[in-house]
Each structure stands twice: as C-alpha cells, then as structure tokens.
Amino acid sequence: MSKTAISTENAPKPVAAFSQAVRKGNILQVAGQVAFDPATGAIVGETVGEQTEQTFKNIEAVLEAAGSSLADAVMVRVYLTDVDHFGVFNEVYNKLIGEAPHPARTTVYVGLPAGLLVEIDVLAVVD
C-alpha cells in the first residue's frame, strides 16, 4: 500500500520538507495547520478565536483536497501557547467541529513562532 501526499493551494504551503497531509489506505494525517492566509502567508487574526477559525479553514481545505471532511476526523491535536486561551479556543472549536460523535482530542501548551497562538493537526479515517 503506497503513501500519497495531499496538496492544495487553498491551504498554506508547508515551510519545511513535509506534506500538507499524507494518506495511506484509508488513514489520512493532516499536518499541523496554523492561521496563515494561503494567498499571502500572513497571520489571520490577533486573537486565539480568530486564529482558530482560520486554522480550521486551512484544515478543511486540506481534508477536502483528500476527499475527506471533519466528519472523518478521529483525533485532533491542539497546540496552544497559553493556558488562558483554552476557554475561548474551546468555544470556537465546539462551534466548528461538527456533530457528535466528536473526535478524540489532546491539548498541549507549547511555544509557536511569533504571533501564532494555535496549531492543530488532524487524523482522519476515510471510507
């Protein structure tokens, strides 16, 4: 079974040697996405809520390019820069993630490049 790289112009280009997503069989791993505008490369939003919305737009674009959607997500990993951002992030996440059953989720607090408040990667199983 071969691996297939997924790429779309509707999500930011990776800044290093990795794919936006990789699919092997029915497993799809979307690389960590952040709140970059795909056209300009600029950060979208100054708040964690605004950045979360843009990050999900980028994730959805990659999922769509792979013939998938958030409905196929089984695991979401969230990287936040500040524990105080969790409440606002969670409100936006709950609005965007879709109907239950919701994917498993892990939240980690990390450092990200200047201006970025959230990074999210997704594991999906595509039928």
C-beta atoms surrounding 60 within 10 Å = 19
CATH code for the structural domain at 3-125: 3.30.1330.40
* 111 has a pLDDT exceeding 90: yes
- At residue 98, the pLDDT reads 86
* 1 has a pLDDT exceeding 90: no
- At residue 99, the pLDDT reads 86
- Angle ∠(61,66,71) on CA atoms, nearest 5: 75
Pairing of strands 73-80, 21-24: unpaired
Please choose, from the candidates 103, 93, 2, the residue with its C-alpha nearest in 3D space to the C-alpha of residue 49. 93
Q: Residue 37 is encoded by which pair of tokens?
A: 């505008």
Residue with tokens 């059953």: 101
C-beta atoms surrounding 19 within 10 Å = 16
At 21, is the pLDDT very low, low, confident or very high (cuts 50, 70, 90)?
A: very high
- At residue 100, the pLDDT reads 87
Mean pLDDT of 22-46: 97
Is the CB of residue 30 less than 8 Å from the CB of residue 21?
Answer: yes
Lowest mean pLDDT, pick from 11-20, 44-53, 85-94 = 11-20
